Structure 1
């Protein structure tokens, strides 16, 4: 478990990361919406191919817009979880980031291994790109570990504030209700 992220308190680092993600998602949402609005048919290819190309491009941009909006929502949940100290609001960010990091790691490993196998036929830059992507993934894993540590801290403090009563105490509270129903 980490106590700080980039030599900063976990709460401050978590808020900063979530706000940067919110701003980035807003910028991407506006950009993809603008691109989606400006798509025109391509005039230098046949009409049928132009519509197929345009439709495919619309699907890709719509998918990217959906991902940007989901990331915006997940980042809002993260910042609310940090501010309100609710550990369950961290879970969407942790789950989605875990999936993205896992898929990114496997995809990068596949690309790195295939570039090493095909190094004689390629330009030789692919291993360098894979190493750069590994550095970005390591950076992402470090951030993930920091947010997970913050999640555990908030979960622990939440359980300290609101401890679960044992079963006897929980059922004892309902006995007065049963007695009042019997009297009626």
Structure 2
């Protein structure tokens, strides 16, 4: 498999930092959303009809743990890039590899649901999920390329080419 030299027109370390900071920001926003959902919050509402959504403590706790893992792994990715240590990038690759497999299974189940019901709305969701999965695989491949580059050239004396 050919390793990437750039990810989204950025050098790998720059793209890795962007991905890491996006992970940190999404984790912070995730904490806010989970806490709001645990307390019961308005999801869809207008003056005529309001719908409230609330999750129980067990579900909220599981989501908080997953969100905390995402925060920790994103910080490790940022530290791995800063310190040129490939071992700190590996948790991000493992966590997101599992997430990609779960998303792939969910897409297969959504395709089966589409053929079982033949509703056009499910097809639109499947196409959106497939595009999102393709983007996620591209980003994963970029971070994997960064991992291999750090493994070969990293360490305390490693440096990035100009």
Q: One fold, TM greater than 0.5?
A: yes
1:17 to partner: Cα distance: 0.8
Query: Cα deviations across residues 38-87 of structure 1 (Å, max 9, x unaligned)?
Result: 35xxxxxxxxxxxxxx8x71111111111111100010000000110000
**For residues 141 and 131 of structure 1, what CA distance do their matches in structure 2 show?**
15
Counterpart for residue 150 of structure 2:
154
- Equivalent of 1:138 in 134, 141, 146: 134
2:23 touches 2:71 (CA, 8 Å); kept in 1? yes
* Long gaps (5+) in structure 2: 41-53
**Residue of structure 1 equivalent to 2:125:** 129
Higher strand share: 2
Q: 5+ unaligned residues in a row in structure 1: which ranges?
A: 40-53, 163-184
CA RMSD for the aligned pairs? 2.1
1:44-55 equivalences in 2 (<5 Å):
none
Matched, 1:19 2:24: no
Larger radius of gyration: 1
**Per-residue deviation, 1:29:** 1.5
What corresponds to 1:112 in structure 2? Answer: 111
Give TM-score, length-normalised by structure 1: 0.72
CA distance in 2, matches of 1:101, 1:79: 21
Q: CA deviation at 1:34?
A: 4.3
